[in-house]
Structure 1
Amino acid sequence: MSSQNHTSESTGVNNNTKLHIRSRFRRAGWIGMISLLLLLSAGLVAFNNDERNFTIAKNLDIFYTLFRELNSYYVDETNPEQLIKTGIDNMLESLDPYTQYIPESDMDDFKTMTTGEYGGIGALISKNGQYVVISEPYEGFPAQKNGLRAGDRILEIDGHSMVEKNTSDVSEKLKGPASTTVKVKIERPGEKKHLVFDITRQKIQINPVPYYGMVNNETGLIVLSSFTQNCADEVKQAFLDLRDNQHAKQVIIDLRGNPGGLLDEAIKMVNFFVPKGSDIVATRGKVKQWDKSYKAIAQPIDTVMPLAVLISRGSASASEIVAGALQDLDRAVIIGQRSFGKGLVQTTRPLSYNTQLKVTTAKYYIPSGRCIQAIDYSQRNEDGSVGLVPDSLIKEFKTLNGRKVFDGGGVSPDVTIEQIQTSNLTIALVLQQVFFDFATEFVLKNPKIESADRFEVTDQVYDAFKEFVASKMDFTYESKTQDLFKKLKETATREDYYNSAKQEFEHLEKVIALDVKKDMELFKSDIRELLGMEIVKRYYYQRGFHIYSLRNDKELDAAKKLFANPQGEYKGLLSGLIPSHAGDKRVKSVDLN
């Protein structure tokens, strides 16, 4: 015991003091080493930053000198602005399809995409031969009110010829400040004289909810076409009307083909249906100060009414946030096909001369923690192509109720409805505007048709359409069988099998030769439906189009069937008692083409 209190004559300190001093020296040593490492690390970071800055400066100088020499000595006159834009566009395209340069001339179109608002006459236009034609006047806006029709060929705008012009030229002339007048001369099929319209432009606000209504006595439907400014308010208004005035007991939200848009609108929309404080989406990227988690900050409007969300391969971005968040929170059953898989966040950054850069800054993560991005653009193949996240890297996550879901791209539905493959003939009829041209002639001969929910493409109408197709001498297409045969023939020729089986190949080629009349009967069901949609749209616009198209809708039928017993399959899927397709990893392997 006394030894513990012994004072050392040589040092003048006891043993405890010695241990304390040694401890301090050790700590000081560690602190010194850590400080040295931090200094070295900072120096390395500074060195790396300096090296990166030098590399940037060097390559910018190379680009400037190259451009100067090119502009001075290239054999023909160059367009400097176009050359620079081409260089910028190709540079950004090497990163991902969503990082884009927006020149000053495109700013109005960019604002229209985000707000859904512009000054103009309110009509869709498209190129048809040498003319730009009215493809769809919006109901209730100046073009429709003044009598413009789908199929009208635009000859002049304010005295300037529009023949042989492209759609962007015509669009620029039609748009303008509200309350200004534009003079439009058109040629209408069936009319001998040209028609002239003086149309007063107005602010065009495209309604992102083109249709909502009851699909049976108890089920309401809301179709949302895009996530533009204030679209969530339109959804809220439609939902409250369906619930409170039309007595809907369950609601279907249709996001099929919705390409997305504003993140804030998607967050507001999810907030309508989930408890306050619920996680909705998080963004994470390189600039950590910009990382953010978004929660439901407002009181919801309904957290108990059964919901179903319809999605397709064309549902992307904000659509996937809504569908994915409602799925992760077990608030809605998702029906359809796996969504597109766009989980990248874009931010706009101002540049000089009133231009902007839309740059990918982060990725979306929905409440379970999974990312919905399908393609890893940072990992490119040698030829520059990119592919899906491989199955080996797909991870499992859990919904609020513990159901299995996976990352690796898009939102997989709880109930998968296989999409019917569209025939090459049907695609050709759409792309070559045969449906459109026939509907234009049909309207001339038929001033009125039955209501959208009762109209039918009769055998008589379909026979007339077949004759119309046959009269189109320039109409061409290849069947999928011919596509495959052509590839087989090329492969056989390359591998030296073709000559030995030449007669068999020639015989098969004759067997699969196109027979338009035969194919028109083979794919009659699909062609008839698309034809009916085009015709109905001429008389009843977007609302009529949706009423007609929903009559034979497999996803909608699946949702109605699900709601026929909401206490059964609906609750079973959300609780995990009934297996969901979203918990099947195999649905991730999907062809992106």
Structure 2
Amino acid sequence: MPTPHIPRPRPRTLLGVGIGVIIGAGLSFTVAVYADKERSGVPLEEIQTFSQVFGLIKSDYVDPASDKKLMEGAINGMVSALDPHSAYLNPKEFKEMEVFTDGKFGGLGIEVTADHGIIKVVAPIDGTPAAKAGIQPGDLIVKIDGKAVQGMSLQETVDMMRGKPGSKITLTILRPHQNQPLTLTLIRAIIKVQSVRAFLLAPGYGYIRISQFQDNTGAETRRAVEGLEKEAGGHLKGLILDLRNNPGGVLGAGVETANTFLNHGLIVYTKGRIADSDMQFKASGPDYLHGAPLIVLINGGSASAAEIVTGALKDDGRALVLGQRSFGKGSVQTVMPLSNGGALKLTTALYFTPAGCSIQSQGIVPNVEVQPANAQLRALDGDLLKESELHGVLKAPSECAKLTPQYTLALPAGAEAKAPTALTQSEKQDAEAALSESITQKPDLAKDYQLREALAILQDKQVPVQVGKETVEERIPLPKAVGQ
């Protein structure tokens, strides 16, 4: 499904997690120019103060400062004061963003955001230099090629991480539960992201991993379902859709992916201040899975478009959601081209699931809560950054804020011990390798507890459910597709 038309010059609506700051505007520093606009709410007193500060910097600052530098800095400050995801893109950055959403770009393959001047990792993208180097959600990037990033804008750090394919870059990161910083050397590459991977986990039971949402992800998902059906002899008994650590992407791709498994029903709707920011996206079908049971896997690194897909399939009763509460990025960024060839990425609305639940800063609550069985993996999961922790985050009141999982799966015997507060380097590497392998290669059910339990539920087997302090073996019912 293509990105919806909006009657403004807005080529694309995105759901990725933030980049940062600026708008283009002309500004005269005389009150007279604005006098006729006083009735329009123009803040004359604040503009006078701005003009005064601008003049003092031009005349008294120790080094000469160009008008362009000062104006861009001022605009940066204005936009960054709004929320973590509004951003100005200069012509070069705007062009790179368009290449990124097409699935081919240069760099490391890492999704980052800024919080109080700190660069935090939301998620590495499967199969990229960042993922292969062991970078994990929750990592803090403190230096790039030995240069401290404290005080830099998010866009400046992104620009530093991009570069000529084949060139080396050194990142110094701080990781929760670890006392010493890590120094990682990566090789930049042209990132050709394979957003969809598909395997048969057992005869008749399929698995699709979506690492992020690009323009072609919806079509690739449909082809993956058809390929799995053919491999299964023409019929799938059930499917697991893995959206763990999926940082989001293009709105239309998320809507199209949800539509792959729905015959009808609401997928998502938006609310904003202006009329054309209120939109609804409905499913048109057909359900390519033909009503076979569906389970969606999420965790704290599942964000934006991944949350829209999950919320739609959960609220429409099409899928059982299993894992941990998602990231909580439920705001709409509209990309508005500017006359200088750049663009303003501005938050214009919030997303709501079919049941009327706001995703923003709250995330999607799974039907079945499952914590990783491995103590190290549980520690990593606890380190995942949440939207609600970001500086300046938008809050969205919701009647759904108090939702809780219907079931909690008990951890296997021997896995109940509390996660350690400090992990050794070896333990961290083992945990990272297990997590990376579980989402980039054909999954190993022996290592991936969450996936193993999802398959058991899909096969109508009993699983260990926590009831108070007791563990009860029982079957968890799966939603049935409407009309099947």
Residue 281 of structure 1 corresponds to 268
1:272 aligned to which of 248, 255, 260: 260
The answer on 1:260 being equivalent to 2:233 is no
RMSD: 4.3
Q: What is the identity, as a one-letter code, of the residue corresponding to 2:447?
A: N
Q: Is the 8 A contact 1:414 1:573 kept in 2?
A: no
Say if 1:72 and 1:294 are closer, same or farther in 2 by CA, change over 3 A: same
Q: What is the identity, as a one-letter code, of the residue corresponding to 1:358?
A: K
1:340 aligned to which of 327, 351, 360: 327
Residue 408 of structure 1 corresponds to 401
Q: Is the 8 A contact 1:229 1:262 kept in 2?
A: yes
Residue 547 of structure 1 corresponds to 443
Q: Is the 8 A contact 1:92 1:100 kept in 2?
A: yes
Q: What is the identity, as a one-letter code, of the residue corresponding to 1:558?
A: E
Q: Is the 8 A contact 2:298 2:326 kept in 1?
A: yes
Equivalent residue runs for 1:103-118 within 5 Å:
103-118=90-105
Q: Is the 8 A contact 2:216 2:253 kept in 1?
A: yes
CA-CA distance at 1:415 after TM superposition: 4.5
Q: What is the identity, as a one-letter code, of the residue corresponding to 1:349?
A: M
Q: 3-state SS of the aligned residue for 1:72?
A: helix
CA-CA distance at 1:171 after TM superposition: 5.7
CA-CA distance at 1:369 after TM superposition: 2.1
Q: 3-state SS of the aligned residue for 1:257?
A: coil
State how far apart, in whole Å, the 1-side matches of 2:429 and 2:164 are.
Answer: 33
The answer on 1:59 being equivalent to 2:59 is no
Residue 78 of structure 2 corresponds to 91
Q: Percent identity?
A: 31
Residue 517 of structure 1 corresponds to none
Say if 1:172 and 1:96 are closer, same or farther in 2 by CA, change over 3 A: closer
CA-CA distance at 1:375 after TM superposition: 6.3
CA-CA distance at 1:574 after TM superposition: 6.4
The answer on 1:559 being equivalent to 2:454 is yes
Q: What is the identity, as a one-letter code, of the residue corresponding to 2:239?
A: V
CA-CA distance at 1:53 after TM superposition: 2.5
CA-CA distance at 1:532 after TM superposition: 6.1
State how far apart, in whole Å, the 1-side matches of 2:359 and 2:110 are.
Answer: 34
Contiguous gaps of at least 5 residues in structure 1 = 1-48, 127-135, 144-148, 152-161, 176-181, 187-200, 377-383, 396-406, 430-464, 466-523, 576-593
CA-CA distance at 1:212 after TM superposition: 1.9
- Greater relative contact order, per chain length (Cα 8 Å cut-off, separation 6+): 2
CA-CA distance at 1:246 after TM superposition: 2.8
Say if 1:125 and 1:553 are closer, same or farther in 2 by CA, change over 3 A: closer
Q: What is the identity, as a one-letter code, of the residue corresponding to 2:94?
A: M
Q: 3-state SS of the aligned residue for 2:335?
A: strand
State how far apart, in whole Å, the 2-side matches of 1:311 and 1:81 are.
Answer: 44
Quick check: which one's strand share is greater?
2
Residue 174 of structure 1 corresponds to 164
Equivalent residue runs for 1:492-571 within 5 Å:
524=427, 527-531=429-433, 543-544=440-441, 547=443, 551-565=446-460, 569-571=475-477
Residue 223 of structure 2 corresponds to 237
1:162-187 Cα distance to aligned partner (Å, 9 max, x none): 98689867765415xxxxxx8x699x
State how far apart, in whole Å, the 2-side matches of 1:413 and 1:304 are.
Answer: 24
CA-CA distance at 1:316 after TM superposition: 1.4
CA-CA distance at 1:319 after TM superposition: 0.9
State how far apart, in whole Å, the 2-side matches of 1:366 and 1:125 are.
Answer: 27
Q: Is the 8 A contact 1:306 1:566 kept in 2?
A: no
Q: How many residues align?
A: 354
Residue 382 of structure 2 corresponds to none
Say if 1:91 and 1:416 are closer, same or farther in 2 by CA, change over 3 A: farther
CA-CA distance at 1:88 after TM superposition: 2.7
1:83-127 Cα distance to aligned partner (Å, 9 max, x none): 433433332232211111112332243224422223x5x86699x
CA-CA distance at 1:336 after TM superposition: 0.4
Q: 3-state SS of the aligned residue for 1:302?
A: coil
TM-score for the superposition, normalised by structure 1 = 0.51
Residue 301 of structure 1 corresponds to 288
Say if 1:412 and 1:316 are closer, same or farther in 2 by CA, change over 3 A: farther
CA-CA distance at 1:295 after TM superposition: 0.9
Q: Is the 8 A contact 1:235 1:269 kept in 2?
A: yes
CA-CA distance at 1:217 after TM superposition: 2.4
Residue 277 of structure 2 corresponds to 290
TM-score for the superposition, normalised by structure 2 = 0.61
Q: Is the 8 A contact 2:91 2:341 kept in 1?
A: yes
Q: 3-state SS of the aligned residue for 1:251?
A: strand
Residue 179 of structure 1 corresponds to none
The answer on 1:69 being equivalent to 2:74 is no
Residue 366 of structure 1 corresponds to 353
State how far apart, in whole Å, the 1-side matches of 2:239 and 2:228 are.
Answer: 8
Equivalent residue runs for 1:126-141 within 5 Å:
none
Equivalent residue runs for 1:444-455 within 5 Å:
none
CA-CA distance at 1:230 after TM superposition: 0.8
Residue 213 of structure 2 corresponds to 227
